[in-house]
Structure 1
């Protein structure tokens, strides 16, 4: 799906694969008003499709400290919303790369009285604060046979364009990145709409940060806030973020 959208954006500017590889995503980003996180996503999509584009780094969120809890709050029973909330609630305490979440199975998540326990080939983790979202997601899944039978923690909710795509199937990394972006954007809209007058300015600032938030940035923020590392990827960048924040506090203190 993301490859098709990239191709459509290029065709609107009469850019074929060779021209796109030569000029990069700059013209598309300007025409579509893509944000830095979107450019980073589509640069990955292009490389997966065989185009030798330069790597666009996922932008660091600003500020480096960001309240991520609104992304873990339930606001209804829509399956897409509840699935995203369950993902964020897990990731806040278990900030695994998106590829690990893509392959995470339900039988690897064990619900206890106060916390969840995740068991993978890499070890065992105790996850606090995600029980409510996890049980809500399990309850929603039971309403749909294809989701109830799926072994994946984050299954597809609808069929995609691929021949092998099916409800309950395993999503791609790109689809999960887009899913997170949509959830962050919708949460941003909710924050602005629900904030009382005294909180409008703070809500608008947080909403603006959410609109540019990618899952990779969410994960680095969770690591920088003290969540235990799940894999080596992102840990170095998180450590650098903590160091920058510490130096800034020392200079202003």
Structure 2
């Protein structure tokens, strides 16, 4: 953890924002998120001292950040030593949401098929995004009717994902870099990093963005293809998808009865189910 944030002395004005951010070390493991937070703050001419006083509200408004993004960057800021108030990760609303449209194949675009395979696996194996980032192909075994995932934590039977998995494997075979990659969710293009390459391991942030894009495109497809008799329901589902993050998707899958893969999110999912039961009663 970095040093705790302190107000500048009255007779010592705060340095210029750009210089102040350069002097403030990033929290270990969150260098990329810290850099993006600093860039967003500098767009408004806000230094770390002022950010600790005003909070993330002005930046979140300017960037149109969703509540989940605000929660992420408030956590990163606190890890860096800035005394920001804790922003809770928003609960998925509604507690029950039909997620099956995210697992339906619409075309053979690699980005689409990769996202569908991910959602199909996560619907029955709701692992945190970090576990999917490190999931290897040799840990996924396709049987005649279902998939079996074997990790250091145990073995899970994953029904309902076989079609999407075979489709993703078929798409990968058309591209040598993807076919040779050991990762279940490899990069499809080079990123800005020097070590980035096609077939390489994606970052947690890249996977979160990948899911958000898939949910948004699925929302557009639902609205564009719904018959008149189903348009209102499709529009409501599409609106929920546009606000959906992978963390919310995972908690919804857990609340729907999927077996927990790790302790993260299980308590929150249980609270969501209990709250829904109280409201129904």
TM-score by length of 2: 0.83
- Please say if 1:26 is aligned against 2:57: yes
Task: Give the aligned partner of residue 167 of structure 1.
Answer: 198
SS at match of 2:174: coil
Shift of 1:37: 2.4
Q: What are the within-5 Å matches in structure 2 for residues 202-241 of structure 1?
A: 202-241=233-272
Q: CA deviation at 1:5?
A: 4.7
1:117 aligns with 2:144: no
- Alignment of 1:145 onto 2:176: yes
Q: Aligned equivalents of 1:115 and 1:57: distance in 2?
A: 37
Deviation at 1:44, TM superposition (A): 4.7
Task: Report what 1:17 is aligned to.
Answer: 48
Structure 1 CA distance, aligned partners of 2:77 and 2:100?
32
Name which of structure 1's ranges 235-244 and 35-44 shifts more when overlaid on structure 2.
Answer: 35-44
Gaps of 5+ in 2: 1-31
**TM-score normalised per structure 1:** 0.92
Which whole-Å CA distance do the structure 2 matches of 1:51 and 1:185 have between them?
34
Gaps of 5+ in 1: none
Stretch moving more, 164-173 or 91-100: 164-173
Give the match's secondary structure for 1:119: strand
The change in CA–CA distance for 1:35 and 1:78 in structure 2 (over 3 A counts) is same
TM-aligned CA deviation for residue 237 of structure 1: 1.0
Which of the numbers 107, 121, 127 marks the counterpart of 1:76?
A: 107
Q: In the superposition, relative to structure 1, how do residues 169 and 102 fare at CA in structure 2: closer, same or farther (>3 Å)? A: same
State the match for 1:43 in structure 2: 74
Instruction: Supply the distance in 1 between the matched residues of 2:105 and 2:35 (Cα, whole angstroms).
Output: 32
Which residue of the other structure, out of 133, 155, 158, is the alignment partner of 2:186?
155
Q: Which range is displaced more, 65-74 or 233-242?
A: 233-242
Residues 1:90 and 2:121 aligned together: yes
Check conservation: 2:103, 2:164, Cα contact below 8 A: yes
Does the CA contact (< 8 Å) of 2:120 and 2:164 recur in 1?
A: yes
| Bigger relative contact order, structure 1 or 2 (CA pairs below 8 A, ≥6 apart) | 1
Corresponding residue pairs, total:
249
Whose radius of gyration is greater, 1 or 2?
A: 2
> Deviation digits for residues 17-48 of structure 1, max 9, x if unmatched?
33334322210111122221232344355567
Preserved CA contact (<8 Å) 1:36 1:212 = no
Distance 1:189 1:46 in 2: 34
